[in-house]
Chains A and B, each alone.
Chain A
């Protein structure tokens, strides 16, 4: 018997994850506010220091933080060298990528990345900077990591230009949007984004959150963070209904989209409801050639974290059977506080083939990684 003394515990063990996994939602952070400056023209340094970022939404610094834990992150994820959680590649490797056997990690930068800003020139400049920063600091230093093309979401033409600039660059595997925008995501102002993404062969990820200037629930601003958390599903339902009914998938038959961090248990009922009203109201949207549920099933992928956790696991499996085991992408949300531990997240009773699809091969196939 030995008594070992350590100042801190080792990172939590994940020894039961033996096979490689894809993590489709990792959040890299900037260690300091000026970390993007080398990638931004000098005029924007002065602009940021003088005017700051002007978002569509007031209190931009308010809603995201604090959320249960500092920076909405795991308390054990502060890098030892300092800086915000998620800002250290070496610590991310040691705490997450290596022990969890992450073969593919998709980066989704959040915060002041240019999305949701009223100054569209600044929005485009920040988006370009964050994309260059992802290559310089992350993907060029660890081949497991892949970047998202962050775009000036409210300026469709600028967003499309950024996507075309990155097309064919294998550092990037998807275009990143957020779920809260000025208008529902199927609206015409966003169409150039889908056109460029389809041409580039990149799926479009829609991550929960964002700064659209509207209340974060459909009936106004809630009192509690817990309401905001469950509100993400209604926001993504609105986005999906808009994408389908505006004909985005009819126009772009090869376009794939990924709903990130808003759950998926509600997907079947949304589809049933859409199909039911479509029977009666299809005259309003004659550009749709198929039932809404068919577009959703063919075009939409879903990341886990959060995964619904019903008392009876067969209820969860029923939902997944409806969605398709080939449409789920595993995600941890590292380093955020609601992180899902890979070895604990999937209930028992899943076939080996479905398990492998869930943890790895669906993502490799969708992102075109061999």
Chain B
């Protein structure tokens, strides 16, 4: 597993997302209310750039006529066919047994750790004073 420095935390404020290609893999990193998530930017259904979709909540119903809307902003909806994926796990709500998209662990690391650690950040100048978003691939 290789760790990659994505960006200084200041450049990925809550509500934003960043698209990258790492080792030829399309990846998207999300900041949702201060929590960071990483997903493969490819829908397992027909290959759309999944992470261009909106972040919605989860509509569930235990009985017809009773609808619960939870997990606001944690469900990613594919920009083509509307398939829904859990941003935390990559699990599909459309066909969970057959389809999931790859989720990657994302962390925030202090600059001191990034400078010394086994991280890869060839195009990003890092300094000890900042915190960085780091993804494990």
Contacts and interface: CB of A to CB of B under 8 A. Distances in A.
A12 B49 CA distance: 6
Interface in B51-72: 51-54
A72 B23 CA distance: 34
A72 to B, nearest CB: 11
B19 A1 contact: no
Interface stretch (A236-244, A246-254, A337-345): A337-345
Contact of A8 (B19, B82, B122): B19
A9 B51 contact: yes
B125 interface: no
Interface stretch (B30-38, B39-47, B85-93, B103-111): B39-47
Nearest to B19: A9
A4 B49 contact: no
Contact of A9 (B4, B41, B80): B41
Given A337-B82, A339-B80, A3 B20 contact: yes
A1 B79 contact: no
A49 interface: no
- Residue from B6, B21, B121 with most neighbouring chain A CB atoms (10 Å): B21
A4 B46 contact: no
A344 B122 contact: no
B79 A69 contact: yes
A2 B21 CA distance: 8
A75 B76 CA distance: 13
A6 to B, nearest CB: 6
Contacts of A3: 4-6, 20, 22, 120-124
A198 B52 CA distance: 45
B48 A76 contact: yes
A75 B47 contact: no
Contacts of B51: 9
A9 B47 contact: no
Contacts of A341: 46-48, 80
A11 interface: yes
Given A1-B120, A1-B122, A74 B21 contact: no
A212 B54 CA distance: 34
Interface in A1-46: 1-14
B114 to A, nearest CB: 13
B46 A344 contact: yes
A9 B53 CA distance: 12
A341 B28 CA distance: 21
Interface residues of B, number: 32
A74 B49 CA distance: 10
B49 A6 contact: no
A5 B20 CA distance: 5
B49 A68 contact: no
A344 B4 CA distance: 31
B134 to A, nearest CB: 11
Contacts of A11: 49
- Residue from A10, A11, A12 with most neighbouring chain B CB atoms (10 Å): A12
B67 to A, nearest CB: 13
Contacts of B79: 69, 74-76, 337
B102 to A, nearest CB: 15
B80 A4 contact: no
Contacts of B122: 1-3
B123 A2 contact: yes
B26 interface: yes
Contacts of A6: 19-21
Nearest to A338: B81
B22 to A, nearest CB: 6
Contacts of A13: 47
A286 B46 CA distance: 48
Contact of A7 (B19, B21, B41): B19
B41 A74 contact: no
B46 A68 contact: no
5 contacts: A1-B22, A3-B124, A4-B22, A6-B21, A75-B53
Given A3-B6, A9-B51, 7 more contacts: A3-B22, A3-B121, A3-B124, A5-B18, A5-B123, A7-B19, A343-B47
Q: Which 8 A-B pairs have the closest CB atoms?
A: A75-B79, A341-B46, A9-B49, A344-B46, A9-B19, A76-B52, A4-B21, A76-B79
